Structure 1
């Protein structure tokens, strides 16, 4: 029992840090600096000023952040869902894959010419800072979310370029240098990881959906835990098959996102909360690895700030902007997507890969990567709300809804459709009485407007943003989506 009090102290400090990290979102709304930056900086300062606090082993950091990313990517895939992903699949794939490669190539050339880094090291640094993190963007937007295809592209880009960046870094480190043979091995390994990861993810997502629907459990609290265990299983299976486990869980989340399953709302809420916790844990652990003494060196922070600025204001707008041309976004939406490509936990994780690989100047390179992330989060992140207002980007309010009204059913309701009225759709401006002929025999039974349950009358007109519960034949699903959501 001699360890009881020291352990209690550790629990107390951990709980206090977690509570402060959660409440930092309230501070973010005022200072307009993403909460991950505050958590990262706080952990880095704490490990410097508290003598008894030491940086955790790098392998432990890598494993903790890996599990955290699995949770984040799986929840991100579920949030997008197949219907949203399908509407923006081409630009997401182009920006996530082609845009990442172009970004890496251009930044590597700049790092080599401007700072004299060897080509191989310049390529490693460029690969580390290429992935983006939309969660950082949404943390500074407060209770608003980017609507339309631009929001889907912004979310989907990170889900795509995180696995791409991780796979590319692993392939480059495995190659050990640059040569014609090394490029061939890197290309082959990358294609293998992406192909296997996508295949395992899609197959695993469908298998998971079948598993949830066909195998009941004795308690509703077990359903989210089963989903989490299956997500980790999909990640491990894809990794053992030499594929990208991160792409696999992202793809599985997309498949599961629009699927109908028992206790689906409970599963989604659990994974959203888990992803938020995982992000906090990832930035705390990564912050503990940042050495402020290294960051303070001029040969670290100067290249880091310059690389961050060139990446944010030159390379991404030009090269990723070219990739977005076929998407035919409005100019204000395209410019916002290009500006909001902030960095997050993945670049620092890839920097730890550099430390683990014992590359020359690994400590300096890791410091440069950390400075690029801090520059992106603090400088770009603080300007994101102003950029959204200046560009007049369409947003939708995400107000907390602490009260729920619903009923439990033993069997799956086959003819119930949950839809959201979109501006310009056939149902926009129509009365409930007119909906009966649009299409087939549809009956509006439930309308929620601005977070309030609205009494239904035949002359009540539907508005954009209304959440509607419609009873209709299951075969009318696609026609109802077209009529109510315009897609």
Structure 2
């Protein structure tokens, strides 16, 4: 009994140690200019059996399970943070990159693997399939707090959020072809369309169901709403995966719908998911670091082969895939160069690299070690230079005005009320008016105004200005009325888009 207690205490201590190490690694990663995943993996390598020797971990099946669950959480958080208005214009090119682009990348990389490694053509293409997709966890983490132009960020996020089905399909297909002599690629192709189509459908349905349920259910504690939302992420994946559809695509689509819906306790849900995603990312990369053995990963044969494959992947396969996948689309050469450079590899290839190990393939261990090295190379070379490359290509956007403040509400569910956060702009009808001049419903109260990061106490004669963050406590049955009031536009003020169109028309008239 004593040893059981000691073992359990040790596990709890270990989890605490991993999380503390991960948080500190994330803190120092921004100062060092390195992607946080590199330091997370480094923590796993250091505390593993060949260095400090705290943990001996070689269970690929367990690592695969932890990786899949963590990716669900990360995809869900990333999808909820993605604005549909930003993604919609780049939906088609992102889908092209996520399918045709992954296929081309896998094909070109696979051919290079066939030339330098003593493996069969099918095994080489399996390797290419595993590293063919960009990684959502790496891309989301790399783009956070970087002011990349919205079009570029949306394309990369949408691609990384939807390209996992293609990578998983190709990986499982080649494993099936290698292990089953009677398998045919022509029989397996229809399953890809099943995975994509049904995964998309399940994501759409459960995203709508989740949004409706979150708004309609009246829970006793506000802390239950984020858990309720996350449960739909896990349910979306399992519902799709149980019928051989793409669980990852279902999660991302459901998150996109939920995140772009009007939600009760929206900010509590978002904050919880952000913290949960960070925790999942830390544990996942540390576990993947534990799974790798430095003496095997950093031997000369792995390093040399890994550098060659990384070179092909970064400078040949990815650029060719990007330029061909976006052919005829409205992307400049500079934008295509940036999309090529920002195609980060991360957790997905390492998690997929465990599939051949679980399947018992002959060269599975060699593949895992080289893929691990390729991911580290991608993260170090590409991940640490994204901002510099974007700056040189002129693709840095304006500094985003994100409020670093929050208002916490306690036990509002029982009062059947919610807090609305709204940022004004020059087009809103309420701008320039004093609070007593705005016809708010009786059961609506302006609780706070944040202006230029300063708190303004609201009074009747307080004037609303453009850029203000207004916090309004309102009864739920009057929520739509308040939002309609806040979103009303001034009749005599054109939007920035309309102003831009007018300027272009005037320029054309002058040229004539």
User: 1:468 and 1:334, CA in 2 relative to 1: closer, same or farther beyond 3 A?
Assistant: farther
The Cα shift of 1:405 comes to 7.3
- Counterpart for residue 198 of structure 1: 200
Equivalent residue for 1:304, pick from 286, 303, 306: 306
- Counterpart for residue 15 of structure 1: 16
Alignment of 1:429-448 (within 5 A): 432-433=431-432, 448=450
Unaligned ranges ≥5, structure 1: 436-440
**Partners of 1:234 and 1:245 within 8 A in 2:** yes
The TM-score normalised by the length of structure 1 is 0.85
The Cα shift of 1:461 comes to 6.6
- Counterpart for residue 401 of structure 1: 404
**Partners of 1:84 and 1:152 within 8 A in 2:** yes
Q: Secondary structure at the match of 2:25?
A: helix
User: 1:26 and 1:141, CA in 2 relative to 1: closer, same or farther beyond 3 A?
Assistant: farther
- Counterpart for residue 337 of structure 2: 335
**Partners of 1:102 and 1:319 within 8 A in 2:** yes
- Counterpart for residue 2 of structure 2: 2
1:297-325 CA distance string (max 9 Å, x none): 33322121111122112221222133234
**Partners of 1:29 and 1:142 within 8 A in 2:** no
- Counterpart for residue 438 of structure 1: none
The Cα shift of 1:398 comes to 7.1
Q: Secondary structure at the match of 1:293?
A: helix
**Partners of 1:82 and 1:258 within 8 A in 2:** yes
- Counterpart for residue 28 of structure 2: 27
Matched residues in 2 for 1:52 and 1:418: separation? 49
The Cα shift of 1:342 comes to 0.9
Matched residues in 1 for 2:146 and 2:54: separation? 41
User: 1:326 and 1:460, CA in 2 relative to 1: closer, same or farther beyond 3 A?
Assistant: farther
- Counterpart for residue 129 of structure 2: 127
The Cα shift of 1:142 comes to 6.7
The Cα shift of 1:141 comes to 6.1
- Counterpart for residue 224 of structure 2: 222
The Cα shift of 1:230 comes to 2.2
The Cα shift of 1:478 comes to 8.9
The Cα shift of 1:86 comes to 2.0
User: 1:252 and 1:478, CA in 2 relative to 1: closer, same or farther beyond 3 A?
Assistant: farther
**Partners of 1:95 and 1:320 within 8 A in 2:** yes
Q: Secondary structure at the match of 1:146?
A: coil
Please state if 1:99 is matched with 2:95.
no
User: 1:473 and 1:382, CA in 2 relative to 1: closer, same or farther beyond 3 A?
Assistant: closer
Unaligned ranges ≥5, structure 2: 435-439, 441-445, 473-479, 499-512
**Partners of 2:47 and 2:54 within 8 A in 1:** no
**Partners of 1:144 and 1:398 within 8 A in 2:** no
**Partners of 2:354 and 2:368 within 8 A in 1:** yes
**Partners of 2:93 and 2:325 within 8 A in 1:** yes
**Partners of 1:168 and 1:186 within 8 A in 2:** no
**Partners of 2:102 and 2:163 within 8 A in 1:** yes
User: 1:459 and 1:147, CA in 2 relative to 1: closer, same or farther beyond 3 A?
Assistant: farther
**Partners of 2:449 and 2:455 within 8 A in 1:** yes
1:12-40 CA distance string (max 9 Å, x none): 23212211211212211221111111111
- Counterpart for residue 170 of structure 2: 168
1:250-277 CA distance string (max 9 Å, x none): 1110110111121121111111111111
RMSD: 3.7
Matched residues in 1 for 2:331 and 2:417: separation? 39
Matched residues in 2 for 1:326 and 1:454: separation? 50
Please state if 1:263 is matched with 2:293.
no
- Counterpart for residue 427 of structure 2: 427
Higher Cα radius of gyration = 2
- Counterpart for residue 158 of structure 1: 160
Matched residues in 2 for 1:138 and 1:99: separation? 19
Alignment of 1:269-288 (within 5 A): 269-288=271-290
Q: Secondary structure at the match of 1:243?
A: coil
- Counterpart for residue 117 of structure 1: 119
The TM-score normalised by the length of structure 2 is 0.82
The Cα shift of 1:469 comes to 7.6
**Partners of 1:175 and 1:186 within 8 A in 2:** no
Matched residues in 2 for 1:73 and 1:370: separation? 21
The Cα shift of 1:385 comes to 2.7
